[in-house]
Every structure is written in structure tokens, then in C-alpha cells.
């Protein structure tokens, strides 16, 4: 007989995910144990295994759900019927706001996907490639001449993503520069250059 899910299944699963991502971001995937995760969310280890078959499955759900949501939001922005410069600013703004809100997810995505089994790691890489393709297409609209050489397409997109993603290893959203202002400065710097300012 199939076991019926409790009404609060998704809520409890989210509590585990939130506790786990904070713990893994702090300790690293290899150092964090399922017992640590259980303690962090006030549950038993067997309770965790009701939701996730292994620590790797837990990591996979954390990163896949995070990046899938990003792809959906950023795809919608790229497909808006507005000028490319406006969409670029909105893209960077959304990416920075999400990074500020989900710093732990970014740290886990940067540092720990190497621990996923090959098939799961490839799934995440494909989603990252979707993000790359979105940015490449936007940059191509903004400056087709600069993006005419295929060999530079990924480089420009990676420069931008690298700038934003590594920012969240040190950036504090409660600091002197708000996420919105930071996004504006990144967009301005990337599109118009430092010397001009």
C-alpha cells in the first residue's frame, strides 16, 4: 500500500532544506553530516531519510531547486519586449537580489557541486549553461559586433557571472551598499566601463 504524504510534507521538507543549506555553506558538504543537519532542524536522522535518500540527494535538491528558479526568473526577463539595455539591468538586478537573499545557496553552488554523482552534477551544469546562454543572447543584442566572434561569447558572460557570484563570498546586504545599488553599479561598470565614470 502506498504511503500517503502528510499535509505538512512540503513545509517540513523546506525546513530541512533551509537548515541544510545554511549548515553546508558554513561547514562545507564534506564536513557536514546528516546528524548535523538533523540537529540543525530539530529532527531525527531517520526523519531526514524520509525526505532524502542520501546526503548527496539533499545537496542535489538544494542546488537544483535554486538554479531552476533562477533560470525561470531570468528567462522571463530576457524574453520581455523591452530594449536590451533595460533587460540587462533587470537581469543583473534580479541576479544580485537573489544572491543577496540566498547567499548560502550561492556558496553551496560554488563550492560543493563537485560532491554530486556525475549524473546529478551534469543536470546542474546544464542549468548553468542555460543561464550562460541567456546572458550571451542578451549581450549579443546589446553589442552584436563585440559578440561576433564565437570564442568571446562565453568569456564575456563568465566575466559578468564571476563578478556577481564571487561578490557573495564577501558582500553583506546590510552593509553600506544595498543590493539594488550594487546591481546598478555592476551593470554600469560592465556596460559602460570604469574609465568613463
- Coil, helix or strand for 41? coil
Residue 1 lies in a domain: no
Residue 42 lies in a domain: no
> What is the pTM assigned to this prediction?
0.86
Could you give the CA distance from residue 165 to residue 123 in angstroms, rounded to a whole number? 20
Could you give the CA distance from residue 138 to residue 179 in angstroms, rounded to a whole number? 22
Span 66-108, pLDDT tens digits: 999 999 999 999 999 999 999 999 999 999 998 888 889 988 9
Residue 157 structural domain: 54-192
Could you give the CA distance from residue 19 to residue 40 in angstroms, rounded to a whole number? 6
Residue 27 lies in a domain: no
Residue 8 lies in a domain: no
Could you give the CA distance from residue 24 to residue 14 in angstroms, rounded to a whole number? 15
Q: What backbone torsions phi and psi does residue 32 show, to the nearest 5 degrees?
A: -80, 130
Residue 94 lies in a domain: yes
Query: How many other C-beta atoms are found inside a 10 Å radius of the C-beta of residue 173?
Result: 15
Query: How many domains does the structure of the chain reveal?
Result: 1
Could you give the CA distance from residue 33 to residue 22 in angstroms, rounded to a whole number? 13
Residue 163 lies in a domain: yes
Residue 34 lies in a domain: no
Arithmetic mean of pLDDT over the chain: 90
What is the model's pLDDT at position 162? 87
Residue 108 lies in a domain: yes
Residue 13 C-alpha cell reads as 521538507
What CATH number corresponds to the domain at position 131? 1.10.357.10
What is the model's pLDDT at position 5? 62
Give yes or no for residue 1 having a pLDDT over 50: no
Span 130-151, pLDDT tens digits: 999 999 999 999 999 988 888 8
Whose cell is 541544510? That residue is 20
Residue 3: pLDDT band with limits 50, 70, 90: low
Span 12-65, pLDDT tens digits: 899 999 999 999 999 999 999 999 999 998 888 888 998 999 999 999 999 999
Amino acid at each position: 500500500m502506498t504511503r500517503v504524504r502528510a499535509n505538512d510534507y512540503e513545509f517540513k521538507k523546506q525546513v530541512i532544506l533551509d537548515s541544510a543549506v545554511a549548515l553546508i555553506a558554513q561547514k562545507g558538504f564534506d564536513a557536514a553530516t546528516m546528524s548535523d543537519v538533523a540537529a540543525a532542524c530539530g529532527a531525527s536522522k531517520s526523519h531526514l531519510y524520509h525526505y532524502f535518500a542520501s546526503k548527496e540527494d539533499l545537496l542535489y535538491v538544494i542546488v537544483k531547486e535554486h538554479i531552476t528558479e533562477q533560470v525561470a526568473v531570468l528567462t522571463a526577463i530576457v524574453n520581455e519586449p523591452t530594449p536590451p539595455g533595460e533587460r540587462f539591468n533587470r537581469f543583473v538586478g534580479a541576479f544580485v537580489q537573489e544572491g543577496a537573499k540566498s547567499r548560502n545557496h550561492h556558496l553551496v553552488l560554488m563550492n560543493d557541486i563537485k560532491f554530486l554523482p556525475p549524473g546529478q552534477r551534469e543536470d546542474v551544469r546544464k542549468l548553468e549553461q542555460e543561464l550562460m546562454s541567456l546572458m550571451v543572447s542578451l549581450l549579443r543584442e546589446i553589442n552584436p559586433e563585440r559578440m561576433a566572434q564565437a570564442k568571446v561569447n562565453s568569456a564575456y558572460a563568465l566575466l559578468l557571472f564571476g563578478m556577481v557570484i564571487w561578490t557573495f563570498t564577501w558582500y553583506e546586504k546590510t552593509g553600506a551598499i544595498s543590493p539594488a545599488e550594487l546591481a546598478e553599479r555592476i551593470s554600469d561598470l560592465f556596460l559602460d566601463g570604469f574609465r568613463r565614470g
